[in-house]
Amino acid sequence: MGVRARTVCLLSAAALMSAPALAEAATPAQYRAVERGLERLVAEPTGPPGAMATFHRGGRTTVVSVGKANVRTGARARVGDHMRIASMSKAFSGAVVLNLVGKGRLALGDTIGERLPSMPVAWHAVTIRQLLNHTSGVPEYIGTDELAEHLRTNPSGILRPATLLEWVSDEGLDFPPGSKYTYSNSDNVILGLIAERATGKRYENLLASIVFRPTRLSETFMATRTALPRPFIHGYDVTPGQEPEDLSSVLTPTIGWASGGLVSTPLEVGRFFRAYLRGRFFGAAQKRAQRRFVPGGDSVPAGPGTNGAGLALFRYRTRCGTVYGHTGSFPGYAQWAAATADGKRSVTTTLNIQPPPPGSAQLGRLRRVQTVAVCALLRKGEGR
């Protein structure tokens, strides 16, 4: 069936845990507009080889998959395939930090100076709250000459979290803390280090005990190697007139760590965001604090509708209603996941290319498809 190939899988979460096979079915009417939108994205000259969306409502997960997860074999993306989730990892670090806040191990008003006194003095006044909602002013390490040189000379080489911050450690803040919003990957790397210092445990172990085990995320982990476990969705660079270049196992995932280093599956990403919105990892006070949104705080890349930044969470107000989640960008992967405020429904989209540039027509088309997906998710009278 080629690039236009499609499948829709209907399954219950319980059935998936007990049987690896996924049942295929015709596309339910409410998801056909999403399917057509994904097909149009795949058909573009610089579009992804494949794209998929998942919808969870009423205890069932519906998967809409078009095109190819692997251009060599022609295989389509499946709900249990591994993928780099990029900056959606920030929501996981938010779950860890807000859990520690709820336990009294940290406070949102704690500063970098109090928790990591060896960090640059110019950063010391920045609070955990400001790191979580990207109003810190801490400079961004992505885009530094040092990172570019590392990726040029040793793209698969492992990077330490401290090294990422060392590349901007001689810089002051970009603006006074709390005065404006600017997305920065440095924020969540610092949060990971703060969580380690507060507990004496490795960040990866905190993820396992606070997030992975309680939520049964057995296929989600912090990656250090370039190789992905099979089966996986291949990520590509697409140039018109050329064969897509497979980027899946080229770049070290340690360029992200707590900010973007996780590998997961579409099924488990949806499960996490439903738990996250239910407040599974922290209490009511942290939930209220998390949902104080900074207007104009776009996720990167921007998600559907009007975006607002909370604490390791973005609000997406669309014409059909509001959902909450995060986007992700990694070479070869454009990710988005969101859930309803009560955590009963969730939606994800995955494209196996780098997200389109900010302000581009292609990104606009992706955001419109995501809006249609929100409309399908929130359609009244069809499950909870």
Write the pLDDT tens digit of every residue in 94-148. Answer: 999 999 999 999 999 999 999 999 999 999 999 999 999 999 999 999 999 999 9
Residue 20: its pLDDT value, please? 30
Q: Would you say residue 248 lies in a domain?
A: yes
- Residue 133 domain-assigned (yes or no): yes
CATH number of the domain bearing residue 243: 3.40.710.10
Percentage of residues in the chain with pLDDT exceeding 70? 92
Does 343 fall in a domain? no
What is the pLDDT at residue 21?
31
HSE-up (13 A, CA, CB side) for residue 276: 35
Pairing outcome for strands 245-246 and 346-351 = unpaired
- Does residue 34 form part of some domain? no
Mean pLDDT score, 201-219: 98
**pLDDT digits 0-9 by tens, 345-382:** 999 999 999 999 999 999 999 999 999 999 999 986 44
R_g (Cα) of the chain, nearest Å: 20
Instruction: Please name the residues in contact with 79: beta carbons below 8 A apart, sequence gap of 6 or more.
Output: 9, 11, 16, 22, 54, 61, 63, 265, 266, 267
What's the whole-model pTM score? 0.91
Is the residue at 339 inside a domain? Answer: no
363 lies in some domain: no
pLDDT of residue 380: 60
Give the whole-angstrom CA distance, residue 339 versus residue 63: 16
- Give per-residue pLDDT as tens, 66-79: 999 999 999 999 99
User: Based on the structure, what is the number of domains in the chain?
Assistant: 1
pLDDT value at position 352?
A: 98
Average pLDDT over residues 5-19: 31
Domain presence at residue 107: yes
Q: Is residue 89 part of a domain?
A: yes
Work out the mean pLDDT of the chain and round it to a whole number.
91
Tens of pLDDT, residue by residue over 256-310, are 999 999 999 999 999 999 999 999 999 999 999 999 999 889 999 999 999 999 9
pLDDT confidence bin for 27, thresholds 50/70/90 = low
- The domain of 281 spans 82-314+326-332
In this predicted structure, the answer to whether residue 9 has a pLDDT above a threshold of 50 is no
